[in-house]
Amino acid sequence: MSPLGLIAGEGVLPLLVARGARAEGRQVVCAAFRGHAWPELREECDEFHWVGTLRLSSWIRVLRAGGCHEAVMVGRVAKHRMYDRWRYFRYIPDWRTARLWFTVLRHDKRPYSILKAVMSELSSAGVNLIDQTRYCREHLATPGVMTRRQPTEAQWIDIHFGWQAGQQLSRLDIGQAIAVKDRDVIAVEALEGTDAMIRRAGELCPVGGWTLIKVSNTQYDMRVDVPTIGATTIERLHEARAGCVVLEAGKTLIAEKQKVIELADRYRIAVVGYDASVCPPPPG
Amino acid sequence: MSPLGLIAGEGVLPLLVARGARAEGRQVVCAAFRGHAWPELREECDEFHWVGTLRLSSWIRVLRAGGCHEAVMVGRVAKHRMYDRWRYFRYIPDWRTARLWFTVLRHDKRPYSILKAVMSELSSAGVNLIDQTRYCREHLATPGVMTRRQPTEAQWIDIHFGWQAGQQLSRLDIGQAIAVKDRDVIAVEALEGTDAMIRRAGELCPVGGWTLIKVSNTQYDMRVDVPTIGATTIERLHEARAGCVVLEAGKTLIAEKQKVIELADRYRIAVVGYDASVCPPPPG
């Protein structure tokens, strides 16, 4: 089997993927985003190269030289930096990236449009992206309440209400999360990222006990954007007095799942894996 | 004709309504929200009483004593204060309000649910709310570009894209505005209010030139929540480097319209009244 390419952004997920792939006996060749990927990722890979986030040609060079036909692209890149006025100086995009940016993406910089363009560019160079969760399935959210802590009755109402609203929002390809309290949407995430949205929800709802609904903005394309939470998310939720977090079962990653669930229980935050079979909509 | 009741929150709109009604020869009896309504409103009304925002019985008492069968409810009440943990001490709701809050609204505090409950309570006491714009029509947004400043080509693309996204969002009864740049939704307003959302969009998009789309979250019930902008909105947009603001023609109020349009032109912000006849969707 050819080595697995790993295009790596921020966070622990690239490490989990590298470990998972090597545990199954597959070599890992990593193109790590400079300024985003964690340096300790180097220890987990057979080959490791730093690349610029906007230098698509470099990623392709690294993966092709490593003999990869398949790759996982995983880990966060703070998208809002793309709107910074000095962005071109900081990243200096290469010709492939510049061509995408100024032709295909000229007036359409929605997250999924960018990712689709990147996927098709990689694919034309012989590298196909595969499901991000392929080598870290044990970290996926499971159906039902994962914590010992259970949602309150009022939170269950917010869960059902918020899940419907979140599903409708996700079709608009805007953000990845909403905050709900008493069937009122307190905050909607767009470009600012989930952490900033959690902080805002906490300020807007000091009485606490609100629910975070995590959705995907990309029709759940498992190759490019699996919704993910980690220990930091739980810390932020605790600071913002949230009472519950809802994830789609089987389609959301909990990076370092066991640690995260323990932490949530300590803070009395219920973690729910939403699934139509275990969480039927309320009657009426 | 019976006197017009005026239930007044924050801002210049209650003054414009009072002036408009009296210009048409109608007396005005005002129940003004303490801590929200402007004191100078007193000069514009025939009768004037301060009331608590959460004291529905007081509003009704004032309006009935004044002989009102019709009322306009207008001006902002910062909804996020409702989630403050000391809210009950600060406002001390009366029995009518408490009954609504703890029965009808127990698990449903979405803006329009609250307003519908308030309307039906007023109506059962013989006071019917009428269209907020009835006495200030000259301040409604008109179709087309209202400023000398025209949107750029890229902004027109954002306007059409953002209008579609905004319409879909408005059906979810969440917020009143979204910010768009290059067909990407930068920020979505929920409980924080438009000003806070504008500030966030400015931080997330320092390159500027983004477009604010103002929508309604209540299926345009002209009795309770006509989307409104004013001079302050334009100041905030300027600080946040916005390039354009889009309002629904005929259904959005521009408080002190002439002043606002002049200010927008000075800051080179295009103000567009969206209307299917003058702003047809782009081909394809």
Least confident of A74-88, B33-47, B62-76: A74-88
Q: Are residues A146 and A266 in the same domain?
A: yes
Closest listed residue to residue B192, CA positions, set A189, A90, A122, A98: A189
Residue pairs spanning A and B at CB distance below 8 A = 117
Smallest Cα–Cα separation from B32: which of B9, B12, B11?
Answer: B9
What does the pLDDT read at residue B80?
A: 52
Closest CA to A63 of A134, A1, A136, A2: A2
In this predicted structure, the answer to whether residue B219 has a pLDDT above a threshold of 80 is no
Which residues of A fall within a CB distance of 8 Å from B108? 182-184
Best mutation target, B90, B164, B182, to test chain A (most A CBs within 10 A):
B182
**CA-nearest residue of chain A to B154?**
A107
Q: Based on the structure, what is the number of domains in chain A?
A: 2
Taking the alpha carbons at both ends of chain A, their separation in whole angstroms is 53
**Closest alpha carbon within chain B to A81:** B204
For residue range B72-93, what is the model confidence (pLDDT) as tens digits? Answer: 999 877 655 555 544 444 455 6
CB contact under 8 A, B157 and A107: yes
- Is B193 in contact with B78 (CB distance < 8 Å)? yes
My answer on whether A170 and A125 are in the same domain is: no
Is the ipTM above a cut-off of 0.90? no
pLDDT of residue B89: 46
Find the DSSP H helices in chain A: 13-23, 56-65, 87-91, 95-102, 111-124, 153-170, 194-204, 231-239, 257-266
Which residues are CB-neighbours of B96 under 8 A, at least 6 positions away?
B56, B57, B60, B121
Edge-to-edge strand order for the sheet containing A4-8?
A47-51, A28-33, A4-8, A70-74, A128-129
Judged against a pLDDT cut of 90, whether residue B226 lies above it is answered with no
Pairwise CB contact (< 8 Å): A109 & B182 = yes
CATH of the domain at B104: 3.40.50.20
- Final residue in a domain of this structure, among A97, A129, A161: A129
At B207-217, the pLDDT tens digits run 999 999 998 76
Interchain pair A185, B175: CB under 8 A = yes
Q: What is the pLDDT of residue A86?
A: 47
The pLDDT of residue B67 is above 50: yes
Return residues 32-91 of B near A (CB < 8 Å): 80, 83-85
Measured between beta carbons, the chain B residues lying within 8 angstroms of A109 are 181-184
Is B222 touching A (CB cutoff 8 A)?
Answer: no
Does position B222 have pLDDT exceeding 90, yes or no? no
Q: What is the mean pLDDT of chain B?
A: 88
Q: Based on the fold, state whether residues B150 and B269 are members of the same structural domain.
A: yes
Low-confidence ranges of chain A (pLDDT < 70): 78-94, 109-111, 217-220, 278-284
Domain presence at residue B283? no
Give yes or no for a contact between A216 and A251, defined as CB atoms under 8 angstroms apart.
yes
Beta bridge partners of A12: none
- For residue B53, pLDDT beyond 60: yes
B280 is a domain residue: no
Name the least confident of A104-118, B1-15, B189-203.
Answer: A104-118
How confident is residue B36, by pLDDT bands cut at 50, 70 and 90?
A: confident
B32 against A85, higher pLDDT: B32
CB of A119 closer than 8 Å to CB of A223: yes
Residue A249 maps to which CATH number? 3.40.140.80
Looking at residue B136, its pLDDT comes to 94
Rounded CA separation A233/A245 (Å): 10
Q: In this structure, are A174 and A224 located in the same domain?
A: yes
HEC letters along B121-167: HHHHCCCEECCCCCCCHHHECCCEECCCCCCCHHHHHHHHHHHHHHH
pLDDT tens figures, B232-254: 999 999 999 999 999 999 989 99
Residues B159 and B117 both lie in one domain:
no
Position with higher pLDDT, A217 vs B200: B200
Query: Is B181–A109 a contact, with Cβ atoms under 8 angstroms apart?
Result: yes
Chain A: residue whose CA lies nearest to B156: A107
**Is B109 near chain A, with CB under 8 Å?**
yes
Q: Give the residue-averaged pLDDT of B272-282.
A: 75
User: Closest Cα partner for A38 from A74, A1, A81, A79?
Assistant: A74
Q: Do A182 and B109 touch (CB under 8 A)?
A: yes
Nearest of A137, A142, A119 to residue A19 by alpha carbon: A137
Query: What angle, 0 to 180 degrees and rounded to 10, lies between the N-to-C axes of helices A56-65 and A95-102?
Result: 130
Rounded to 10°, the helix A111-124/A95-102 angle is 140
Residues in chain A: 284
Which of A129, A159, A180 is a domain's end point? A129
Q: Do residues B254 and B169 both lie within one domain?
A: yes
Rounded to 5 degrees, what angle do the CA atoms B272, B112, A209 make?
Answer: 110
Domain that holds residue A115: 4-129
Q: Is A187 on the interface with B (CB under 8 A)?
A: yes
**Inside any domain, residue A281:** no
- Name the CA dihedral angle for B270, B273, B275, B280, rounded to a multiple of 10 degrees: 0
Q: Answer yes or no: do B88 and B125 share one domain.
A: yes
Residue A284 lies in a domain: no
Q: Which of A90, A160, A180, A188 to mutate to test the interface with B (most CBs of B within 10 A)?
A: A188
The CA angle B225-B227-B232, to the nearest 5 degrees, is 125
Whole-number pLDDT of residue A90: 47
